[in-house]
Amino acid sequence: MSLPGRDALNLGMISVVGLGLATFVLPDIASTFVHMEPEELRLASLGVVAAVSSLLGLHLTASIGGADMPVVITILNSYSGWALCAEGFMLGNPLLAQIGALIGFSGAILTWIMCEAMGRNILTVILGGAGTSAPVTIEGGTVFEGEAVTCNTDSVVEKLLEANEIVIVPGYGLAVAQAQFAVADIAKILKAMGKNVRFGIHPVAGRMPGQLNVLLAEASVPYDMVFEMEEINDAFDNVDVTMVIGASDTVSSAAEDNPNCSIYGMPVLRVWKSNNVIVMKRKLGSTGYAGTENPILFKDNTEVLLGDAHDSCVTIRSKLSETK
């Protein structure tokens, strides 16, 4: 959302909230300007501030671009901590204040880490795009050359058996499908065949940083097989097959190639540089947080395996096991 005078609207609502705070804290002084009893004035200020704060929160959140929406989660997490901290002071409970400060600071640090990973300005994101022009239009009408080529599990298994260097890039779709155990088994089977299998993790893949690391650890994937984006990005030129499971924005070449894309400038995993790319998706046309189509789907070296990630991975695991 980019309303006219967006920054002025936010500043105006913040001023109203500040005035309501002053009215609540100093009702006797405020009552000299408004013919109301102090207690009535305090109650009225609470109601006004609650309503204006709700509108402010809605506007700030709606003004954050689609690709930055994961940051909203960490911001709201941080805000909940500060609210708890304030409650601790109000009730005179040091434990509440300390826990709230811990949640508030950890959420703020996590927000900063995510903004750094996504190449975004943290103040701009937190303040709902303050000081920036209207966001560039999303290339929903962009026509890509070529067409997406679909494949089946037999084709995927054949490519995996022929490959020596394999990278698996999990995304939020893997977490939703709960396919981590099947994927971990696939990696172990391939590794037992003498193939070099690695996992590439984007800093903000999934809902929160570290989510996919936890899922892979839950599935007993060895730590030495898991690599961060900075560690593996330069290796894709020598990768035979890259399997992208439920990731979209974090592997989109538009972030580097298309200045008119809403995620332009965000660091991504350069999976399209692999010799072969297998992208697992539920259906063609579905997009990530940014709401943009991923151009790698239309590249000559990419094939799309449609279906539920869990079912696809279980089938691939079974067929690989039969070849051992």
Task: Mean pLDDT check: name the lowest of 12-16, 196-200, 268-272, 286-290.
Answer: 286-290
The Cα–Cα gap between 214 and 225 comes to: 14
Instruction: Tell me, yes or no, whether 111 lies in a domain.
Output: yes
Residues 116 and 161 in one domain: no
The residue written with tokens 């204040």 in the block is 97
Residues 65 and 27 in one domain: yes
- The pLDDT confidence band at residue 140, using thresholds 50, 70 and 90, is very low
Q: Is residue 133 part of a domain?
A: no
Same domain? For 98 and 187 the reply is: no
Count of domains forming the chain: 2
Q: Quick one: which H or E segment has residue 233?
A: none
> Same structural domain for residues 295 and 232?
yes
Residue 252 resides in a domain: yes
Q: CA-based Rg of the chain, rounded to a whole angstrom?
A: 25
CATH number at residue 201: 3.40.50.1220
Average model confidence (pLDDT) across the chain: 85
> Which residues are known catalytic residues?
172, 207, 289
| 167 and 242 fall within a common domain | yes
Pair (122, 168) in one structural domain: no
Put simply, whether the predicted model's pTM sits higher than 0.75 gets the answer: no
| Co-location of 202 and 157 in the same domain | yes
CB 276 within 8 A of CB 241: yes
Q: Which domain holds residue 50?
A: 6-126
Say whether both 172 and 259 belong to one domain.
Answer: yes
End-to-end CA distance of the chain: 54
Query: Tens digit of pLDDT for each residue in 165-201?
Result: 999 999 888 888 889 999 999 999 999 999 999 999 9
User: CB-side exposure of 204: number of CA atoms within 13 Å?
Assistant: 28
One domain, residues 96 and 198: no
Cα(191)–Cα(146) distance, rounded to whole angstroms?
A: 34
**Co-location of 38 and 186 in the same domain:** no
